[in-house]
Amino acid sequence: MCGIVGYIGERQAAPILLEGLSKLEYRGYDSAGIAVFDDNKIEVAKAKGRLNVLAEKTNDGKTIHGTMGIGHTRWATHGEPSDENAHPHISMSGRFAVVHNGIIENYIALKKKLTDKGFEFISETDTEVIAHLFEYYYKGDIMDAMIRVINRVEGSYALGVLCSDYPDSFVAVRKSSPLIVGLGENENFVASDVTAILKHTRDIYYLEDNEMVVLKKDSVKVYNKDKEEVPKEKFTVDWDVSAAEKGGYEHFMMKEIEEQPKAIRDTISPRIKDGRIVLDDITLTTEDIKNINKIYIVACGSAYHVGVVGKYVIEKMCRIPVEVQVASEFRYCDPIIKKNDLVIVISQSGETADTLAALKEAKNHGARILSIVNVVGSAIANASDDVIYTWAGPEIAVATTKAYSTQLAVIYLIAAYMAEKLGMLTSGEYAKFISEIEALPDKVAEILKSKEELQFLASKFFNCRSIFFIGRNLDYAVSLEGSLKLKEISYIHSEAYAAGELKHGTISLIEDGTLVVALATGRELFDKTVSNVKEVKARGAVVMGVTTQAHENMEDVADYVVKIPEAHEMLLPSLTVIPLQLFGYYVASLKGCDIDKPRNLAKSVTVE
């Protein structure tokens, strides 16, 4: 959500800022702007709409000179998308330019204070308050002003700040919103995500909360709020830059769907050695596992849907009670957490605001935190007792695919790891489960070979007004994700229902021609789901069934049937979700939607 890029060096800054912002478009935005220092003043250019509007306005940055600047893509929170509300924001004298990700919760009180002091506001944003605060507190030392500002504001922020009194440096700070530092040769960078600067450097610093950084072209220094220099460990990004490029695909989403076999293999292979699951990343001992009283899984969006699968899998295999909660609800429901409870936190970015806040709430209650994230050094990873990284590589499309699949893979590993420690699996069952996990990448690849079948089905249904997904148990868990994928990229109204609940009200929504996607992969509940299919068919529904190759009689009741390979019942979600991702993609493509950047959505939700 929103994106920041900053540059200082020997090259013209504006083209580099625009290029970096283009790599952050996936985060979601509705306006963009840059501020560049040149000839003792700060020049600002910003525009509502897509980044190409700003690029045309500045001739791809060529008309704005200077070798130091900051840029921003804004996702509107306070104030509608407009040129006035776009970042950067300028202080009243023009001395300061500020870009900001996050939300300033006490901005109304601060705005009143500043207005009473004679400051004039031209935008509706909370960010403009920060620009004026810098001017209000500035007494000649930018770091002193920064400390006073961050001590005064409440909420989340990543800030990049130019000051016209400092022609050879700019400053940045973060709290609960991602910001990294890129280290180059006679040039340095800040960015919300490494993808923005990967073309220029692979060496980065991860900033912790309330760490401030002063960037010059030939030096980077990080300080705490006491102005004490903080030593930082340099990280080197090891994935190929091509992983963040489309590579010939029309959309990142399709590229990432196709990357899932490799991503799943990269996640599981290093953790299975000599037929055993080895989680060297975690310190959870056998005794710790035996003492677990309850497991909470806390996440948002697709990661929450992974958690719903996780509940079924962990309870079935480990016989430990599991409660899954949306992070924003967990935080405010006064959760009953005890010392021996384990909280599994799932977040692709590792920066999701509600999930991070829920993590802190759980820690305050004394729970142990095990996080599943994709980004090394992210806020959630740093705040956890144990971390398992998914190794999915960069995911650019807003609608997640390979992040979901790799998170599922980690859930399977955790469940089997704990079940074996608890003695819940015989040696034969354990070996069989490991073998089935290792077979998942090839089975996913097998499904992807038949994607034209999903393209054909999409061509028949892309004009639907409403589509419903039904399933039981694990199939219901996957239907939640299938429904979300469809609605977020195609804008078609879609809901997922537990099939057994249809008669309790929701079947009233079925009318002639309504498409119902029925997931029926499990053996034990297959016949019951078939009965639900017959119920909706009797009321005029058109049914697309998704089942395994062993269930031949789905053809007797469904109008269209999609088959997936056989697998261990607990692992079927990894296969079932693939045709649902493809169906959503092709429906959105036929509707002409902006698949990688759906309206109103952001990749990384770093504000409440």
Cite the active site residues. 2, 603
Question: Which pairing describes strands 211-216 and 219-223: parallel, antiparallel, or unpaired?
Answer: antiparallel
| Residue partners of 1: CB distance under 8 A and separation at least 6 | 27, 28, 75, 101, 602, 603, 604, 605, 606, 607
CA 333 remoteness from chain centre:
24
The CB-side HSE value for 117 (13 A sphere, CA atoms) comes to 14
DSSP state of 36: E
Q: Is the backbone peptide bond immediately before 88 cis, with ω within 30 degrees of 0? A: yes
Contact 503, 539 (CB under 8 A): no
| Residue partners of 570: CB distance under 8 A and separation at least 6 | 312, 313, 316, 317, 412, 415, 433, 474
Task: Count the neighbouring beta carbons within 10 Å of the beta carbon of residue 484.
Answer: 22
How is residue 566 written in tokens?
Answer: 């056989």
What ranges in 269-343 are assigned the alpha helix state H? 286-290, 301-318, 327-330
What Rg value do the Cα atoms of the chain yield, rounded? Answer: 25
| Residue partners of 2: CB distance under 8 A and separation at least 6 | 27, 28, 29, 72, 73, 74, 75, 100, 101, 102, 192, 602, 606
Question: What is the DSSP code string of 395-423?
Answer: --SSS-SHHHHHHHHHHHHHHHHHHHHTT
How is residue 213 written in tokens?
Answer: 């950084």
Contact 18, 34 (CB under 8 A): yes
Contact 348, 373 (CB under 8 A): yes
Contact 235, 376 (CB under 8 A): yes
Beta strands in 501-602 (DSSP E): 515-519, 542-548, 560-564
Largest Cα–Cα distance of the chain, in whole Å? Answer: 79
Length of the chain: 608
